[in-house]
Every structure is written in C-alpha cells, then in structure tokens.
Amino acid sequence: MEQSLILTGTQAAAEGARLSRVQVVAAYPITPQSKIPETLSGYVERGVLKAEFVRVESEHSAMGVCIAASIAGARAFTATASNGLAYMHEQLHWAAGSRLPIVMPVANRGVGAPWTILNDCQDSISQRDTGWMQLYCMNNQEVLDLVIVAFKAAEKLLIPCMVCFDGFLLSHTFMPVVIPGQEEVDSFLPPYVPFHTLDPENPVNINPVVLSEPVADPDGVISPGYMGFRFRLQKSLEDALPVIRQTGREFGELFGRSYEDPLFRYRSEDADFLFVAMGAVAGEATEAADALRQDGVKAGVLGVRVYRPFPAVELYEALRGRRAAAVIEKAISYGYEGALTSELKACFYGKSERGPVISNFIAGLGGKDVAASDLIQAANASIAAAKNGTSPDRAQWVGC
C-alpha cells in the first residue's frame, strides 16, 4: 500500500532498492552515500529484504561483486560517491562492456584533492564515457522513483545505470516522499531474467581476450572483434532514449509521476531566456526564473534528467528560437568549459535554425552555495551577451 514518509535522499535510494527487490548489495561506506547500505543492511538483517549483503574492502571490490553477481543472474546494487566512484573507474568499463544491468546511486560529491565532503558533480561527469546511463535527480522523490525506473530500463537494454543526486543538498535533506506499494512495484518491475545462465555442466569463458577481427565461437557462430563489441554498446545507447521514455511513461501510468520526458520543464513554453542545469540546481533555478519574470524577463528552466544517453533532439527542440541560455554546471572539463555546455552547443551544429546565445557558468563546486541572486546575475550576463551578439568563449565562475 502506498504511503508518504519524510526521508533523506539516501533513505529514498535505499527504499528504491528495497522495492526493486535487489538480490545482491555490495557495500562500502563513503560520505555522503553511507546511509544507503546502512539502511539496506538493516532490512537484510531483519528479513525485510531477501538479499546477499556483501561487505567489501573498497569501491573497486564493490563493483567487482556487482559484476560477478549480475553475470550469475542476480539483480545487483551498490552506491558510491566522489573518489570512491573514481576508484571504480576500471570496473565501470568492465560492467558496461559486459552488458550488465547494475544500478548504482551516486551521491554527488567533489573529488579531492583538496578534500571536500560537499557537493558538486565532478565525480559522475568524469565517468560519462564509461558506457553507463546517467540519470540526474532534482528531489528525493525522483531518487526513489528513478532507482526503480533505472532497473527496468537497464534490464531491457542490458546497460548499467547511475542514478545521480546532489550530496547533502538531497542526500541529507529530509523531504516528503511517496513510497509505492510493493505489489504495484512488482507489477512494474518483474524479476530479472538474465540473458544467459551459468551451467556447471557446460562451463564457458566469460569476457575472454578478443581479437581485432571477428572469429567463430566454440559453436561456430561468428562473434565480433573488440571494435564490434564497442559498436554494439554505442548502438544500444543511441537507441536507449525511447526505451527510457517508454519506461518512464509506464511508471507514470501506474504511479502518477511520469518520467517520459528526459527534460524537466518549468515555464519554458514562452521563454526567451532559459536556465539549463542538472540535479538540484535545476530546482533552485525555478526561484530565479520566477524573480526574472517579475522583472519582465520571460525566463524558464530546463533540467536535464537524462544525461546519458544525451537527449540532443529534445534539447534542440526546447531551445531553438530562444534568445539566450545560461548553462549552470557543477563540474568543469578542465581546459575548456562545462561538458553539458559543449554538448548543448553541438546540438545546434549544422542545423538550419539558429540556437540561443549560450553562456556557461560554473557554480557550486565543493558545496559552494548557489543563491537565487547568483543565478539572476548569471541570467543578466547571458542576456547581455545575447543583446551584443557575442557568445562568451570561456566558462564564467560564480562565487569563486
């Protein structure tokens, strides 16, 4: 039966895993995600969740356990943040290349050095090229819901998925969260059926060294070379957005909260100016948009909920014909600009219709507060650049 509780983001992520009936949880603590495995360990200890809870010695090992469990046919889950995610880097490639539908919440936190336990998105953005899907949450309800959505989409596509949410801003903040009933979640997310089974009577090698050219497997079937496997993963990610949209629509039909649209849209229909952001800052930008509206600026917000696969068509359609856009990012691609900004600009390359003047603002690194006044200042600078017909050639830093 559906109920409403006041939960932190980490508790919401744990509830999403419980409702998804995960079968293996690999646990290693790192702030600010540690409450996720802590909560799940209590569920396993009390018999609320029938799962193997594996305590490991590192994040690298945590992903190794998930890889092995998923290959064996279990629904596998872990969570991490910051340098822990960086320590997993090798294993992230391995999980995606093995086509394993692992789901992993990432409680976004700045990466050392220098050390910080506070929020930015440098950790997950730095892993964007590992072959994982990435979803970004604006609030704790989305954290719970998108864990469940992620499992269904991942198991359809055989691609692992990160569910990213801001450390402390969401992970440790209490918010009202509607918890679906278990029977309804079971009807939405049936038990995982692996695409192959392990048979001791018929042993096989999994993920052996492959050559550059296709070769025949033991059954005489021609199998791809290394580049062929990479092409298959890329093709699946290119085709993933319709699956994510359908999964989000089905979730909405059952629970009343649709995630069909990969973008969160706020007062965007008639906007001349748009904030573009991911995660909690997209929600914070709605306050700035309202203030700008009171001053006569037709402002709105686009929140990028699905970052990988990249929703290029949706962003192009949402932004074409607008005058200006300020992309607010909690990460930087060192030596250039924010990754989201570069990819947003690419949406308009070669298109007949001109896009807005796009300005990039780096904000909130290491937990630096991003106030509505900061966002309004960024908006005014972006609108001024559009009036002058100049696109800034580098990222601008807010509150540095």
Q: Does 279 score more than 90 pLDDT?
A: yes
Task: Output the CA angle 319-305-8, nearest 5 degrees.
Answer: 140
pLDDT at 195: 82
Fold entry, domain 263-397: Rossmann fold (3.40.50)
d(CA 277, CA 29): 28
User: pTM above 0.95?
Assistant: yes
210: left (phi over 0), alpha (psi -120 to 50) or beta: beta
Question: Domain limits of the chain?
Answer: 3-193+240-255, 263-397
| Of 198 and 60, the one with more pLDDT | 60
Return the top range by mean pLDDT from 222-226, 347-351, 358-362: 358-362
Q: Does 265 score more than 80 pLDDT?
A: yes
Q: What is the Cβ-side half-sphere exposure of residue 82, based on CA atoms within 13 angstroms?
A: 26
d(CA 130, CA 124): 10
Nearest to 244 by CA among 196, 311, 180, 317: 311
| Fold agreement between 3-193+240-255 and 263-397 | yes
pLDDT at 249: 98
**Beta-carbon count within 10 A of 6 CB:** 10
What average pLDDT score do residues 127-149 get?
A: 98
pLDDT at 354: 83
Residue with the two structure tokens 């790192």: 30
Fold entry, domain 3-193+240-255: Rossmann fold (3.40.50)
What average pLDDT score do residues 378-391 get?
A: 93
pLDDT at 390: 84
